[in-house]
Structure formats: structure tokens, C-alpha cells
Amino acid sequence: MAPSNSLPTDLDVLVIGTGAGGAPLLARLAQAGLKVAALEAGVRHPPEGIATDEVAQLGLFWTDERLSAGNDPVGFGRNNSGRGVGGSTLHYTAYTPRAQPDDLKLRTEFGQGEDWPLEFSELEPYYDELEYFLGVSGPAEYPWGPQRKSAYRHPPLPLNGAARLMQKACAEIGMRTSPAANAALSRPQEQEGYGTRHTCTNRGFCQAGCSIGAKASMDVTFLALAESLGAQIVDGAQVTALTMKDGRVTGAEFMRGDELEHLSAKTVILAAGAVETPRLLLMNGLANSSGQVGRNFMAHVGMQVWGQVEDDLRPYKGIPGGLISEDTHRVDGLIGGYLLQSLGVMPVTYATQYARGTLKWGPELVQHLSGYNHVAGINVLGECLPYEHNYLELSDELDGRGLPKPRIHFSFGENEKKMNAHAEALMRDLWGRIGARDVWSLPRAAHTLGTARMGANPETSVVNPFGRTHDIENLWICDNSTFTSSLSVNPALTQMALSLRTADALIEGLKQA
Amino acid sequence: MTTGEREAVLAMLNSAHVTEPTRRALLERLDARYEREFFEVAEFERLQALAVRLLPHDPAEMDLTGTVDRRLIVGVGDGWRYADALPDGEAYRALLAALPDGFETLDGEAQDTAIPALQSSHPRAFEDLLAELTEAFMAHPLTQYRFGYAGFADAPNWPQVGPNELEPREVAYGPQ
């Protein structure tokens, strides 16, 4: 393989970003015999270098400053960003629920929100393929959504303290629960291009990176496969501009260290996420004839409820989101719905959220934090509608490279407020049933979505149903910015499905050309 | 930090239950001390006084305010800030300037009385500083020992994850 400092030439496809959007298609295109490379702003974080310590793992996150505006400013950094070979999948919790068919048809069902320009049946084969390839651990029978064509590849991971408490509380009120689908291994698995991925050791630090290779982050799955097939990944490469000629994109300029470099390719795929992708397009004035670049920013309703119990729970152990319920997928009076998940938590994350969420200080703060071993959490993930008032723009403030910092406006609308209230009441009831004390709630928003939306109409969307930009024939986007609606599930698995689908469309198009 | 506490922390950090990258990070943090660089002397004294009230701790044991100063010098943030807030360093300076004259010389009770007004006049900076100090406090190996937190000692694995299903090293770590 070429040394990492020598740049590839004659590229068929250049991918910008190596997360859940960029990685699957990189492997798929390499598999089809195309000459492909990826630029990644972050560096490699191999499992053996991962510390079981949140502060030491800060390098997994995008720490260039973003400006958060609106009535409900969204936190970034540790909450909603990723940087490194593997992108946000380095720190995702490995939740891999599927979207349900009606998630894609919100406008049809409610007259509000948006319909996706594709059908569930188009995603389903990709879901099947992904769950097998990643090695998802899940229940034999999943109670929600259409009947699965095949069982999850591995049995579910063990339920930790919070999961067992949620199970008990939900049973009391007749809510169904199930071990969740998690892309972390309950049995070892051979991974093509990587080697053996080991069984999860229950260390519970998924959000600070997996030191075992048990979690299906992109580096130990699709990217390893892609590199084994000849794809080249250039890490530490921050893209600063797309280059254009005669209405076509010709490549990308990027900084490695202090060097400004350039890579040319016949096709470019932006997979930098719902903040960096629109930021780059806006800086370059590209693909925006619709005026929709940066618009429709969405972040899932992510209310959390926490409490402390007598039992010694050790919330740092076990897969953090072991148990799920989708019984609230539809709730009277709400547009869309939400799912409920149990929560393990790492100590610094818990402590800083508690400080910000309650603003308690002094002995009262320390007293509460000293009970960390007894903390149990539960949270929801719910639909967020696209609104005119939620958007990303370029600010006048410049970052260290002299590029404008993005400013993201976010305020919950009426539906999100109602959903928050409904979810908080439900979770407080559940945590009351397990005898939790010091119960507190944290309204928050999770995931960044929708800033270069997908649609059939070029006047109201940025990319077509397969991810090609309406404006520039050889520029594609494949990341969570293309989400037409937020879906009431964690986005990673659907993102990967869209990535494989985009790759297949691109390959098919090249065959026909 | 008593000798016993230090020995217990070191024994665990140097045990086979802690992976090398984890050990390196925690050993370095256990004894980390930083020279004041970002803040002026008077500002730093106020910050130290405020930090002790917000997160009661012994500055000789853990250098929380030095950690804040160091972070501002290095210039690495947490990836975002409120759009209506000043950049972190300036915001903290304004926060400290808003404390009553001679705050650092007041007794603890009088200092506490001044804090709610600070919180209302500078809500964003107050929240950010509180969160940053809380992070430094909770991430410190000594705090973790005192809270009986053993999550960093995760090698080779946690065979049991249910309530009260503790490994001997989890039971033994922390004040008994």
C-alpha cells in the first residue's frame, strides 16, 4: 500500500468524511473496482490506543467552535459531533434500530413534516445486509415494525442496572420492552479486511471509543474493508474548499498541518455531516439554487430523566442502551412519536450534565455526584419537525484557519414541546416506580440532521433521492444533512443504508454512461 | 490526599486492571499542576476563591483552576459556545470582574451569598465555568477514589453488569 503521505491520483471518486455516510460507500465503490480515496479531518484512533477516560478521549470530537443560537441552543463537541477515521461512529452508542415505514411518510399521515422520496422497501434489503455485516446483537423477536426477514446475527448483550430497572417499571404499566439492537458483539466475529473482532467486555465507555473492536465503528468494519480493497484514506486532512470547472466539481482543497494540498477526482461525495457539509457548500456558494443549504436543521427530542437508587448499579458497566421500547412510536396528540431507551452513563458526562442541567453548586453538587454509582437513566429519542426558524448560517467570526464559524439556530416547536412534556411525565412515572430519589430531567436535542435535504423537487431540496446534488452533476452528498425528516430512531443504521444505496446508484449510473 | 489514599489510587492505576492508555492519562492527571498563564494574578485569586465555593475541594490536592487556565492557553474548547456569549476567556474575565470587590478575602459564607447575583447577571459564563470545574473535579483520580468509582479499571472485562453484581476490585476501591 502507498505510504500515507503520498496522495493518490486519477481518482474516480473522492469522499470527504469517513463516518456512517462516507465509509460504507467507500467500501462499496472500492469493491466495484473504482479508484477511491477519502479525506478525513481527524486522525486514526485504533482500539488499542483508546483510554477508559472521557477527558483523554476528547480527540474523538469536533472541538472547533460552533455557535449555538435560538431558544434551545444545541450543544456540540461531546454531544453532537465526531472527528477521526470513522467519524461519529467512533463514539456512537451503537444503537441500530430500524426506521419504521411510517417514519418516511410523516406528511401523508399528519399533513405536517415531510415525506421521504423513497420507500421503506428500498431500505429494507440494506438494513438486512448491514445488520449482518456489522454484527448487530439483538433479540430473537423484535416487537415493533415489519416482520424481519432474518434474525439478528448475534444474541442480545446483557442488560445492565438501568435496563433492568426500566424493564421492571415498564412491565408495571403494561409497556412492552425488548433488549435493544446494538452494533456491538455478543460473540466474536471475523471481519473482512480487519480480522477478529472480539466480544464486548461490558466496559460501557462506547461514547468515549471502543478499546476492544467489539463495537461496529466504521474503522473496524467498512473502512478496513475499503482499505483492503485499495481505497486510500488521508487522515488529518481538513477540507477548506471544493474546486470547480465548467459547472463540475474537480476535487477538493485541504489542509494537512500547515500545508494546503489538492486532490482531483471525477466525482466528489460530501460526507462531512450536517454541520460541515452545509458550511462547506455555503462557503463555496455551491449546490444552493434551492436556497435550502443550511435550512431545516433538525435535532431529535432527547429528554433524559435521571435518578439514584439504593442498588449499586455501576452505570459505567454494560452497553449503555440495553433496553428499548417503541410503544410510544405513535402517541395521541403528537405528530410522529418517540422511542424509549435505558441509559448507562460515564462519570464526567453525568457530572457535567447534572451541573449544567440543575445549576447546583457547592456541597449539594458534590453530595449528589458522590452517588454516581447509584445513578440510573432513561431517555427518549423523538421526531423533530423541520422548521423555517431552525437553520445553519455562516457567522462573521473566523476559526483558526480563517474560515467562518457556523452558527446554528435551534428552537423547539410546539410539537417538540408537547413531546418533551409527554416523555418527561412518562419517564418520571417510571422512575417513581423503581423508587428513584433526586429525580431530575434534562431536556436536550441529539443528532444533527437535515441541512441539505433530499427530495424529488429541485426547488425545495438540495439532493435527489439518491444523493446527487440537483445543481452539480458530479457532486453527491451522503450524510445526515440529507435526511428529509428526522425519523424517530437513532440515525446511524439508516445513514449506512442510504450510503450503500447511494453507492449502488452511482455504480449503476457509471455502468450506463 | 492522605498517604493511604495515594497508595490505593496508585496501586489500582498500576494494576493489570488498567490499560496502558488509561493509566498514562490518569497518572498524569493525579499530579498535574499548572502555572498561571492566562489570567492576571488578581483574576486568578478570585477564580480560585470562586472555584472552591462552586466545587468544594482542596487546591493543594487538585488544581482545578490551573486546569481551566491551561485549557484557555492551549485554546482547545468543548466544540461550541452560546452564540450570545463572549469567547470563553473573555466571558470568564467578565464573570470574575462582576464579583464584589474583595470577594477573595471574604469568608466562605459571605462568598456564597454573592454567588446567586453572579449567576443571574452572567448566566452563560456561570454555567460554562461550573461545568468546566465539574469536569476537572469528576475526572480527577482522587475524586474517583473517594466516590468509589472504579470504571477505569475495566481490564480484562466486567463479567457481570446487573445491580449489586460487583467484582472484588469494585468493592475494595474507595473509602471503606
Instruction: Answer whether A317 sits within 8 Å of B161, measured CB to CB.
Output: yes
Distance from CA of B40 to the nearest CA of A (A): 24
Quickly state the pLDDT bin for B1 (edges 50, 70, 90). confident
- List Cβ neighbours of B69 (8 Å cut-off, separation of 6 or more): B34, B36, B37, B38, B39, B44, B47
Q: Which residue in B138, B157, B170 is closest to A314 by CB distance?
A: B170
Of B24, B53, B77, the CB nearest to A362: B53
User: Residues A259-283: pLDDT tens digits?
Assistant: 999 999 999 999 999 999 999 999 9
For residue B164, the chain A residue with the least C-alpha distance is: A312
pLDDT for residue A1 is more than 60: no
| DSSP at A306 | E
* Å between A269 CA and nearest CA of chain B: 25
Nearest CA in chain A to B147: A370
> pLDDT tens across A186-196, in order?
999 999 999 99
Tell me the C-alpha distance between A394 and B5, whole Å. 50
Yes or no, beta carbons of B54 and A365 under 8 Å apart: yes
Task: Place A5 in a pLDDT band, splitting at 50, 70 and 90.
Answer: low
Chain A interface, best mutation among B122, B161, B170, B173, by max A CB count within 10 A:
B161
**Considering only CA atoms, which of A461, A38, A264, A449 is closest in space to residue A469?**
A461
Residue A430: pLDDT over 80: yes
Closest by CA to A355, choosing from B126, B79, B29, is B126
Query: H-type helices in B31-122, by residue range?
Result: 41-54, 64-74, 88-97, 108-121
DSSP A48: G
Q: Return the bridge partners of A298, or none.
A: A449
CB contact under 8 A, B83 and A395: yes
Distance from CA of B39 to the nearest CA of A (A): 21
3-state secondary structure of A15: strand
Q: What is the pLDDT of residues B67-125, one digit of tens each?
A: 999 999 998 888 999 999 999 999 999 999 999 999 999 999 999 999 999 999 999 99
Nearest CB to B25 within list A56, A61, A359: A56
What is the model's pTM? 0.97
Q: In angstroms, how far is the first alpha carbon of chain A from the final one? A: 30
Tell me the residues of chain A between 172 and 201 that have a Cβ less than 8 Å away from chain B: 201
Q: Kindly state whether A231 is in contact with chain B, defined as any CB-CB distance less than 8 angstroms.
A: no
The mean pLDDT value for A60-85 works out to 92
Q: Are A403 and A284 in contact (CB under 8 A)?
A: no
Does the pLDDT of residue B143 top 50, yes or no?
yes
pLDDT of A4 > 60? The answer is no
**Are the Cβ atoms of B79 and A77 closer than 8 angstroms?**
yes
From A331's Cα to the closest Cα of chain B, the distance in A is: 32
Work out the average pLDDT over A465-488.
Answer: 98
Q: What angle do CA B149, B150, B154 make, to 5 degrees?
A: 150
Three-class secondary structure of residue A423 per DSSP:
helix
Q: Is the pLDDT of residue A2 over 80?
A: no
Average pLDDT over residues A478-505: 98
Q: In chain B, whose CA is at the least distance from the CA of A345?
A: B151
CA distance, residue B30 to nearest chain A CA (Å) = 13
What pLDDT score was predicted for residue B176?
84
- Return the H-helix or E-strand segment holding A391: strand A391-398
Per-residue model confidence (pLDDT) at position A3: 46
User: In this predicted structure, what is the pLDDT of residue A461?
Assistant: 98
Q: What is the mean pLDDT of residues A278-302?
A: 98
Q: What pLDDT is recorded for position A120?
A: 98
Q: How far is B88 from chain A (nearest CA, A)?
A: 11
pLDDT for the residue A236: 97
For the stretch A92-121, pLDDT in tens is 999 999 999 999 999 999 999 999 999 999
pLDDT, tens digit, 9 for 90 and up, residues A343-397: 999 999 999 999 999 999 999 999 999 999 999 999 999 999 999 999 999 999 9
**CB pair distance less than 8 Å for B149 and A316:** yes
**Is A160 near chain B, with CB under 8 Å?**
yes
* DSSP state letters, A87-113: GGGGT---B-PPPPGGGGBHHHHHSSS
* CB atoms inside a 10 Å sphere around CB A178: 18
Q: What is the mean pLDDT of chain A?
A: 96
Please state whether beta strands A66-69 and B80-82 pair in parallel, antiparallel, or not at all (unpaired). parallel
Chain A, chain B: beta-carbon pairs less than 8 Å apart: 177
Tell me the sheet residues that pair with A440.
A306
